Amino acid sequence: MILNFVFSHFNQIMLVVWTLFLFILAIRFWKPSWVKNISYTKLILIAVAIDVFHGLFLTLVKYYGWSSPNDKTLSYFINSPLSKNTPIFEWLRPLFENHLGYFLHYVWTNYWMSIFISLFVSGLLYFLFKMWRTYRGNFLPEGPEILFILMLIAGWPGIVVLIPLGFLVSVIGFFIYQLKGKALVYVEPMFIIATFLTIIFEKPILKLFFHSL
């Protein structure tokens, strides 16, 4: 019963987990003395671990649910290769021709693909931000690491919302700072605020611009 409840409410639970994690990051940024033993490197590792746990948990629960001996229909899905009519890259097809083929394809497309895209896109942008900081500056010393963590929190396709929203909040913050007579504003705190907004409004924003989602 508990497992069924967790699985059926897993998205809401993960939303709470990521929100709490974002609060920890915000405290680390604005009040580092409160969590001085937590480095940004540790936060990156924790964020990646949460993503991996996310995928593993859903995969194991789905396998457990489909392998029930009391339901022959569901057990069929973990004892069948992927249909040859399913459109995938041909070089990947051998991975799904075994008796777990349908199940592996299901968990990949529904769980793991978004996790890997999130890690890849976040890593790529982190590399670009790191290069930009090295040659052009304009970031705090650990700014690229902070942005990397924020992108992992937003996930995929949340990153699509976070990046433009982060720069929008940065522009708004710049004008507010100008009105207060302060000339310099960093993007990192603006992106922390934008990540909170992304977590809350990601789905309606995506539906507004991408009606098919």
Q: Please give the Cα distance from 49 to 69 (Å, whole number).
A: 32
> Which pLDDT belongs to residue 145?
94
Q: Are 148 and 121 in contact (CB under 8 A)?
A: no
Tokens of 76: 């069929």
Other residues' Cβ atoms within 10 Å of the Cβ of residue 68: 12
Q: Look at residue 67 in the predicted model and tell me its pLDDT.
A: 78
Confirm if 47 and 21 have CB atoms less than 8 A apart: yes
In this prediction, residue 111 carries a pLDDT of 92
Taking every pair of Cα atoms in the chain, the longest distance, rounded to a whole number of angstroms, is 70
Q: For position 158, what pLDDT does the model report?
A: 92
pLDDT at 206: 84
Q: What share of the chain is helix, strand, coil (3-state, %, to 5)?
A: 75, 0, 25
The pTM (predicted TM-score) of the whole model is: 0.87
How high is the mean pLDDT in each 10-residue block of the chain (213 residues)? Answer: 70 91 93 84 95 92 76 70 75 77 88 94 93 78 92 93 92 79 76 93 81 52
